[in-house]
Amino acid sequence: MSRRYDCAADPMERTRGIAEAVSAVRRGELIVLPTDTVYGVGADAFTPAAVTALLDAKGRGRDAPPPVLVGSVRAATALVEDLGTYGQDLIDEFWPGALTIVCRANRNLVWDLGDTKGTVAVRMPMHDLAVELLKETGPLAVSSANLSGRPAARSADEAEKMLGDAVSVYLDGGPAGLGEASTIIDLTGPIPRLLRAGAISEDKIRAVVGVLLTDDNEREDEREDEDHDERKDDAREPSVSLEKPAVSGEKPAGTASGEVAETGAESDAKSGADKPAEEAGDSAGPSLRKDGAK
């Protein structure tokens, strides 16, 4: 049976709730906690069975691995190979806060968050209760506290209605801060890419990183590729001559009916053997020009 603690109004309840949540996490159970964006359902990031239980509770598969929340920048850097060119600048500007960064995961870590393709999404929330809990538990795999396809919970009540007894401990911290999901930026490539628009605007991200790839960039690139392919296909079309080719034995153009135009060389050739039916070049097709531009 689930236990719920009012952490917003009662300091003693808050202390008891955090202690119970820490114990539940260490047992591999699920908890619900408030953050600065929406309520999240969390599990020990280093207990695969707990992460699987989290995905099952939400009705999601391994192809949708949860992000990891941390209580400090130091904890975040221990989870990744490196922050790339822009990671530290983004952290300095927006952490703690509603920015999730995707980096290459530290290959020495023993965990299983799902089909991550060697990456990890990390965030440090700007919420006192969440940070206090995270400093006790260590990194938590945390996803929005809702069933897949349903709106993210903005209160402990909404989370409990959807997740029920799948969660052991509910920490009620009052209404969620922003009510809007975090912005997600992929830092695994040379240029940051926006994976999800959220609480932090694109303009604010660009003010830090300069260039930010978005879905609009991808659609524009696809249109340019399509235009290029069309131009390339047009260049491959052979030019067709409208002039009727000469056929062996056919009267040359401009010769009167019944007349045969014959040169002296042709007369000499006929004295020994018939003229070959096909001259060099008669069978050659039109010249094809391939556009080599890529």
Residues of the chain with pLDDT under 50: 240-242, 244-294
Task: Determine the Cα–Cα distance for residues 183 and 235; give it in Å rounded to an integer.
Answer: 44
Q: What is the DSSP code (8-state) at residue 158? A: H
Residue 179: the pLDDT is 80
CA dihedral sign of residues 96, 102, 104, 109: positive
Task: Determine the Cα–Cα distance for residues 221 and 217; give it in Å rounded to an integer.
Answer: 6
